[in-house]
Structure 1
């Protein structure tokens, strides 16, 4: 970046197309691809689940992926200021997406701290979750290596595995409820601070540092995933696990819940409606072929999810085979898979320390990309809003340090004995699919109907030289908002109050807080529009008209204006000059 009088007068770009591809891949390919998609697939009809999954890929995933990436590349702005240029009335979508992303980052990095904790213990001479001979174990603990035979002989039902007790009593030291805060888990706090330090240095120089870090963080997880896949496929019982993962049950397609879970998986795994793709696209050169990139990146994301299912369920099949229990008894999703089921399975293998280390390194790297890109997205959005303040030499680094430190302080409650209850509260309400569906509806309506789907297609063609398929226009105008609205309404109708481990019911005030967190983001969409409408000048009609007009300085607008005024030659000159 060039500096004049201490002011960075350029925003910066990716040094190469590869950096953009790796940054986006690292952002969208995360923990959900490994611990959520395989579980959803087996739970919702095996191979039949791929039908609603690909319906949402075609109608929502790819169209929104292209739209958001193109918005950033076209405006060269972050996820808030890009809306000011394209459709000012919808600026609240940018604020809402950033708030949801902030909530997500707060939760996400705590998971990385847990994974780091497990990784450290993976180097022990004996894995501490492999036996009941530890100070934190209870009398109900059953060593999984003899668990099945022990239970059959004794007839015990109130038992817990050594892995579960390590997770709940050693790692979390979980209290009896959210109101029992307890003490801070200092070991987890140190792991949390470590992850924040790593994130800080990954992005402290903006895309100049991020673009280099992703060469490792976005590629090495695939090496480990491939190694774990080969190892899993060679284990006894692996075939049964894979059959269980993919065996189709077409009757599940009649369940609307299956379709909603497919939609939620697409929105989360593709990082839609959060503004991440817009910011990453904004660092591209204007003529980058984001149209072609979209297809390859979406294919990579979904393909990774599918392949990860083989790596996960081959190992779960092995564990079920070793214990002599049905696979559904060991299949887990989310933290239950990463911190209970899979660690228990690898502890049964030869060289368990090696396989445990590989698994948790993969988990950390998969999550680290998503985490530091999320923080970079927030920083970029703020820098684009206040360039004179945050682009001065050294100020970005100082503000980023302050931001990371503040977030770490806010997370003290998450590394306390009640931390798991708080994380689940944030995840269930503040970061849920309903909020993303809501933003998607207004995002597509704003671009498709106010800015104009035709105008957006023209912008993409002007940047890439390729005319987008008419299907994209149809999706932005009709299919995507209809699918998103249907999913939003269904999620509201089917709402169930949050519980923890199916037995702990939160106090009533917690549910009110949860709804307040959910409303804090979606209320910004109409709220920002209303503020603009009330604070503008002129008649109500004039204010509304200005709020729906794109910036006259947009590149294609200037080119078309020159073409209309001077003809084709001037248009070509304007294109070259801009």
Structure 2
């Protein structure tokens, strides 16, 4: 790493780069933005169920092992790539080695796919925040959600628009595009500074309220009673690895992009551990709140806790409305729960779409506002066309499953193997982080990133692949699985190859670290608070 200093008045390429691309105003803002990305819908509706199904209290052991041995090492790998090379995912990979650029575009394609369906779930939560006030779902939240609200059709694709989804989806996209147009600090950073404390307060209040519901203790017993025999089950360890990986926002370009907006002298390793443990802390909080509420629901309905446990959309939009209807002060609980989903989802969606916007800006040397329009308008239109119809939930379910498993997991394994073994990039990246990092990286990190994490993720990936090929996914027709599942996962790879073939704007330097060559034209593209 260069240690040269610049005399007063000397051209500083890093200062130019920061002003050109935008930057977070401080380490604190970066940490809040990174936490905002990591803490999403999966923390609230996926972790409690995964923990419950995989040994209860005993699940904490493989969960912490996965966090320390795979999640954190990969998070620091992403930080190193973005912070060293000062670029979006494709530009950072191109600056590491020209031939690795497709990995970055693969991640961009994945993020675009995620953004268009993730917005729909936030739209559901936004509508349900209002429904909570008068408990519009009545006595049958299951039938209300699928039949009255979404008007779900038989599996297939329809053009029948559901106004109840279309309107909140438009609102979600309008809010997201406004945030993106405001820039890195005034948009993304300011949103995180306001929303993350608000999320902690709102969800903390929900947890406290849930703990005082009758039956809460039984729910917590169900979640935390350890089944130590589960530690001998390989599937439990695979579940822990998958949960950590998906919840930390690693492997698909987000943390590379965010790290590129941070000052050169920032302690990135210390920041990474703050983000990682804050994310896991929120997951634990979510588990407590959700299972306290499920314990109440079990007691109120005269059932065992295991009979009311739900996951994902079923937990959020069926089980929780049933709890809200029965609980004292249900409207208050409902607004807190669905409001938390909206906030957590919005901060995550902002980070996902920024990966795409940042890449397009870097590739074509566009202003932020133009890049937001070029990326955001097509994304919003696709989102509205696919997910505001009576078949939207079917398409969402299929795309989500295949993009997560055969998009994010696959590109993560490939990226780790290429960076560690083909490019031998780990020592240089570690040296970069060690220069200002409070936690030093060395041989243990090389082993975890180069061997432990990719092998663990590869095993999860192979198992998922074999199961999906053998049994398909759900009861959807094979043509739908092929089109919206395998097709979507394959399309992002084709996109990655095509995008790599497009030449970079002549002013973009592909030199490692992003230093601009002498005489390169660098335009200021936005005014950011520094």
Pair in the same fold by TM > 0.5: yes
Q: Shift of the alpha carbon at 1:163?
A: 0.9
Shift in CA distance, 428/237, structure 1 to aligned 2, threshold 3 Å: same
Q: Shift of the alpha carbon at 1:360?
A: 1.1
Shift in CA distance, 529/77, structure 1 to aligned 2, threshold 3 Å: closer
Shift in CA distance, 405/523, structure 1 to aligned 2, threshold 3 Å: closer
Distance, in Å, in 2 between the alignment partners of 1:482 and 1:335 is 31
- Of 334, 351, 359, 1:373 maps to 351
Q: Shift of the alpha carbon at 1:242?
A: 0.4
Q: Corresponding residue for 1:439?
A: 411
Q: Corresponding residue for 2:487?
A: 516
1:386 matched to 2:364: yes
- Residues 15-40 of structure 1: CA distance to partner in whole angstroms, max 9, x if unpaired? 11111011001000111111000000
**Structure-to-structure mapping, 1:257-276, within 5 angstroms:** 257-276=235-254
Q: Corresponding residue for 2:284?
A: 306
1:41 matched to 2:51: yes
Question: TM-score, normalised to structure 2's length?
Answer: 0.87
Q: Shift of the alpha carbon at 1:425?
A: 1.3
- Of 77, 89, 99, 1:89 maps to 99
Q: Corresponding residue for 1:30?
A: 40
Q: Shift of the alpha carbon at 1:173?
A: 0.7
Q: Corresponding residue for 1:317?
A: 295
- Of 408, 422, 426, 2:399 maps to 426
Q: Shift of the alpha carbon at 1:87?
A: 2.1
Q: Corresponding residue for 2:171?
A: 194
Q: Is the 8 A contact 2:75 2:248 kept in 1?
A: yes
Distance, in Å, in 2 between the alignment partners of 1:54 and 1:465 is 21
Shift in CA distance, 353/493, structure 1 to aligned 2, threshold 3 Å: same
Gaps of 5+ in 1: 1-6, 132-161, 536-549, 559-578
**Structure-to-structure mapping, 1:45-444, within 5 angstroms:** 45-124=55-134, 127-131=135-139, 162-179=140-157, 181=158, 183-208=160-185, 209-387=187-365, 390-391=366-367, 396-411=368-383, 412-429=385-402, 431-444=403-416
Moved more, 461-470 or 510-519: 461-470
Q: Corresponding residue for 1:3?
A: none
Q: Corresponding residue for 1:488?
A: 461
Distance, in Å, in 1 between the alignment partners of 2:333 and 2:90 is 43
Instruction: State the structure with more CA Rg.
Output: 1
Q: Corresponding residue for 1:11?
A: 21
Q: Is the 8 A contact 1:439 1:522 kept in 2?
A: no
Q: Secondary structure at the match of 2:89?
A: coil
Q: Shift of the alpha carbon at 1:469?
A: 4.2
Q: Is the 8 A contact 2:83 2:264 kept in 1?
A: yes
Q: Corresponding residue for 1:568?
A: none
Shift in CA distance, 119/530, structure 1 to aligned 2, threshold 3 Å: closer
Q: Is the 8 A contact 2:220 2:291 kept in 1?
A: yes
Distance, in Å, in 1 between the alignment partners of 2:472 and 2:317 is 21
- State the 4+ residue runs in structure 1 displaced beyond 6 angstroms: 528-532
Q: Which has the higher contact order (CA 8 A, sep 6+)?
A: 2
Gaps of 5+ in 2: 1-16, 504-508, 518-530
Q: Is the 8 A contact 2:434 2:441 kept in 1?
A: yes
Q: Is the 8 A contact 2:310 2:319 kept in 1?
A: yes
| Alignment RMSD (CA, Å) | 2.5
Q: Is the 8 A contact 2:48 2:286 kept in 1?
A: yes
